[in-house]
Chains A and B, each alone.
Chain A
Amino acid sequence: EIVMTQSPATLSVSPGERATLSCRASQSVGSNLAWYQQKPGQAPRLLMYGASTKATGIPARFSGSESGTEFTLTVSSLQSEDFAVYYCQQYNSWPLTFGGGTKVEIK
């Protein structure tokens, strides 16, 4: 099973600032990496797949990148609606696995 490790667990950021979230895979997943956003009391929402391809309707301030087994989700200028928990997910092999999440909170 591929273990996904996200860091930090909590990120405190002021509105308008940049947020950088990290996700590391225990072994190669290629570019088979997705990001999801989950707000309290809501279902997750797909943000990104293929490590860097935005899902439908996702704002341009979100971007994804990869370097080997390290993946990064960047929000260039945090808006109030971006404060949430973010999860990465690998889909290179079964079982599909998620990271433990990064909570982005208001500083």
Chain B
Amino acid sequence: EVQLLESGGGLEQPGGSLRLSCAASGFTFSSSSMTWVRQAPGKGLEWVSGISGSGGTTYYIDSVKGRFTISRDNSKNTLYLQMNSLRAEDTAVYYCAKGSPTFQHWGQGTLVTVSS
């Protein structure tokens, strides 16, 4: 059974940093592209970033380019999202998802709140 467990969310001040993690199990992690999708409170879904199975190819939405970095450690079956220079508009539940460009399995999400 595919399982994705996000962690690392919390309250951070504008301009601060957080690193999200997504621990994966139940599938061959190194063979799967992975994705981060976010959802602001009461709003719709927004694709944020994706990474190939090897980690050699990454994609970002324009609003996070230069601030967020997606990465993975295939030896630990873990996906990461390093979030720097956080803004209030980054406040959202961040989901990790298996697959790209469609998302077959999702974690339960971790809430990131950016506020002073």
Contacts and interface: CB of A to CB of B under 8 A. Distances in A.
Interface of A: 32, 34, 36, 38, 42-46, 49, 55-56, 87, 89, 91, 94-101
A92 to B, nearest CB: 9
B47 A45 contact: no
Contacts, number: 50
Q: Is the interface of A mostly helix, strand, loop or mixed?
A: loop
Contacts of A43: 95, 106-109
7 pairs of A and B residues whose beta carbons are closest in the complex: A91-B101, A43-B106, A96-B47, A98-B45, A34-B102, A49-B102, A101-B44
18 contacts: A36-B45, A43-B95, A43-B108, A43-B109, A44-B37, A44-B95, A44-B106, A46-B104, A55-B104, A56-B104, A89-B47, A91-B102, A95-B60, A96-B101, A97-B47, A98-B46, A98-B47, A99-B44
